């Protein structure tokens, strides 16, 4: 199974250290204020599942996968049914979440030579970006990323350089390993902060990932129960290759995808159990969503398309938000919102500051989450990459197709001819968006120095140990 070096859980949290310093300084009034501030600032847990289909969980219509914990989460919180990611692929979607921007605006619409960032990629998230966890750090939050990062694997791109106090997980997708015969991938490392502490070598290691990441997450919560904390859990599953521990694999013989989904549900339950045991429920915002639509193993009904596409099935994702006493229980929000909104929304909720020296595309969705009467989406236009735009109930593609998503969520009937004025209005919005997103962009991060894998290729030396030539014999530029 996954081999690891010793855990660092005995190291005091960042927040605990600051409290110790404050106490030693004898500043009792200041310490009391800090305690008061802590109560008012919610802890935030953000689950970011990989490639989950829209109808893969029971609260969004699954008749196959058993998800009792997500059922409970939805019953105690809110389902967001028009919630989007800003790209239908791993790296650009994560870039949008971290920066509050469309990925093209921060140079991460794709990797340097492929649609996503690859091992040893020269590109990654720029050091000049102000990330969501950095905003939270500035107002006293302890921050952790536990799971799949996929915003660059060179040292300057790692989570600990971009606002996370603690990191544990894999640097990119779980299929980027030597067992994937299509590519000549290097070994898949498991990191703690910036140190390689293990390797995902076999399917047994893949099967252990969800449980291992869940245990790490619980450990972080326990270490930081005094709060406030931000826990970002971008699970490796249910990305292919699908795997789950024996407890779930044995319940679904021959269906590794179902087993993986149900173990994710178990993970959600363990987090809620931990929050309850620590009396943190009412002071914790817990959000569950996916990085893009599901692949062809998933159930995306009633949406059209899958990941990688700009159909609804590629970018509309199942999302649940729970915050007892704050988010109305058992509610549904069908207003347009997106992962880009997490940055301004969390900043608003915790008293942080949104950068004003750059364009931030995300909107404050706190009124939607809190169920404020009359709350509406702040999006006049939401862009599906540069392919399409949504405005209200209408979605328009650049080739002239128009769909009414309220009446036709499956995008089956083109109604452009029947609604020429609507089509013309949305065409103009799409043209404006394309112009803006093609010109008002910031530079992508570029690695300094020789590109290296976190684990060199076995049996190779020097530059050959870090060669990026894949099986097709093409050397990336």
pLDDT for residue 304 is more than 50: yes
Using a 10 angstrom Cβ sphere, with 0-12 exposed, 13-18 middle and 19 or more buried, the burial of residue 379 is buried
Q: What is the pLDDT of residues 119-150, one digit of tens each?
A: 999 999 999 999 999 999 999 999 999 999 99
Q: What is the pLDDT of residues 332-358, one digit of tens each?
A: 999 999 999 999 999 999 999 999 999
Q: Give the span between the Cα atoms of 74 and 86, in whole angstroms.
A: 23
| pLDDT at residue 237 in the model | 98
| pLDDT at residue 25 in the model | 38
In the sheet with 188-192, reading across from the earlier edge strand, the strands are: 195-200, 188-192, 166-170, 142-148, 229-233, 43-49, 284-290, 319-322, 78-80, 331-333
For range 11-28, the mean pLDDT:
40
CB atoms within 10 A of CB 398: 15
For range 163-172, the mean pLDDT:
98
Angle at 237 between CA 300 and CA 302, to 5 degrees: 5
For range 171-197, the mean pLDDT:
94
| pLDDT at residue 438 in the model | 93
Q: Give the span between the Cα atoms of 186 and 100, in whole angstroms.
A: 31
Mark whether 123 is an active-site residue.
Answer: no
Q: What is the pLDDT of residues 450-473, one digit of tens each?
A: 999 999 999 988 888 898 775 344
Q: Which percentage of the chain shows pLDDT scores above 70?
A: 90
Contact 167, 160 (CB under 8 A): yes
pLDDT for residue 317 is more than 60: yes
For range 45-54, the mean pLDDT:
98
Catalytic residue among 90, 101, 145, 333: 90
Domains in the chain: ranges and CATH? 40-381 (3.40.720.10)
When comparing pLDDT for 42 and 28, which is higher? 42
Q: What is the pTM of this model?
A: 0.91
Matching residue, tokens 């915002």: 285
pLDDT for residue 316 is more than 90: yes
Q: Which of 35-49, 94-108, 192-206, 343-357 has the lowest average pLDDT? A: 35-49
Matching residue, tokens 């300057």: 156
Contact 207, 470 (CB under 8 A): no
Matching residue, tokens 């991460």: 108
Cα torsion 364, 370, 372, 377: sign: positive
pLDDT for residue 17 is more than 60: no
Mark whether 101 is an active-site residue.
Answer: no
| pLDDT at residue 104 in the model | 98
Catalytic residue among 101, 145, 150, 333: 150
Q: What is the pLDDT of residues 419-436, one digit of tens each?
A: 999 999 999 999 999 999
For range 319-326, the mean pLDDT:
98
| pLDDT at residue 34 in the model | 35
Q: What is the pLDDT of residues 230-270, one digit of tens each?
A: 999 999 999 999 999 999 999 999 999 999 999 999 999 99
């Amino acid at each position: 199974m996954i081999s690891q070096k010793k855990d660092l859980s005995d190291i005091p949290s960042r927040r605990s250290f600051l409290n110790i310093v404050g106490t030693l300084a004898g500043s009792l009034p200041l310490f009391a204020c800090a305690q008061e501030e802590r109560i008012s600032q919610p802890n935030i847990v953000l689950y970011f599942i990989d490639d989950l289909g829209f109808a893969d969980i029971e609260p969004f219509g699954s008749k196959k996968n058993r998800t009792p914990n997500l059922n409970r989460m939805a019953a105690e919180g809110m389902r967001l049914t028009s919630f989007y990611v800003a790209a239908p692929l791993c790296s650009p979607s994560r870039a949008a979440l971290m920066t509050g921007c469309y990925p093209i605006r921060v140079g991460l619409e794709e990797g340097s030579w492929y649609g996503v960032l690859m091992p040893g990629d020269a590109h990654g998230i720029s050091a000049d970006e102000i990330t969501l966890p950095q905003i939270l750090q500035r107002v006293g939050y302890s921050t952790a990323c536990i799971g799949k990062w996929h915003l660059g694997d060179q040292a300057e791109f790692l989570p600990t350089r971009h606002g996370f106090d603690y990191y544990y997980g894999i640097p990119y997708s779980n299929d980027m390993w030597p067992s994937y015969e299509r590519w000549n991938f290097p070994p898949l490392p498991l990191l703690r902060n910036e140190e390689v502490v293990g390797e995902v070598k076999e399917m047994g290691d893949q099967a252990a990932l969800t449980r291992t990441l869940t245990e790490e997450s619980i450990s972080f919560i326990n270490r930081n129960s005094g709060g406030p904390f931000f826990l970002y859990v971008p699970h490796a599953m249910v990305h292919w290759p699908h795997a789950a521990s024996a407890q779930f694999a044995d319940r679904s013989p021959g269906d590794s995808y179902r087993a993986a989904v149900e173990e994710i549900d178990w993970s959600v339950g363990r987090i809620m159990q931990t929050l309850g045991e620590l009396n943190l429920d009412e002071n914790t915002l817990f959000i569950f969503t996916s990085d893009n639509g599901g692949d062809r193993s998933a159930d995306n009904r009633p949406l059209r398309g899958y990941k990688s596409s700009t159909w609804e099935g590629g970018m509309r994702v199942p999302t649940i938000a729970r915050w007892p006493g704050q988010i109305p229980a058992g509610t549904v929000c069908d207003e347009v919102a997106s992962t880009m909104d997490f940055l301004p929304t969390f900043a608003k909720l915790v008293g942080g500051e949104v950068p004003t020296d750059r364009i931030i595309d995300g909107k404050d969705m706190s009124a939607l989450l809190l169920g404020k009467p009359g709350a509406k989406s702040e999006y006049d236009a939401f862009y599906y990459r540069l392919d399409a735009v949504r405005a209200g109930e209408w979605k328009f593609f650049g080739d002239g197709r128009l769909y009414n998503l309220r009446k036709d969520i499956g995008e089956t009937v083109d109604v452009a001819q029947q609604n020429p004025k609507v089509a013309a209005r949305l065409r103009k919005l799409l043209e404006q968006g394309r112009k803006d997103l093609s010109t008002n962009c910031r530079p992508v991060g570029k690695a300094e120095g020789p590109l290296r894998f976190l684990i060199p290729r076995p049996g190779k030396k020097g530059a050959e140990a870090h060669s990026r030539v894949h099986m097709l014999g093409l050397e990336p530029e």
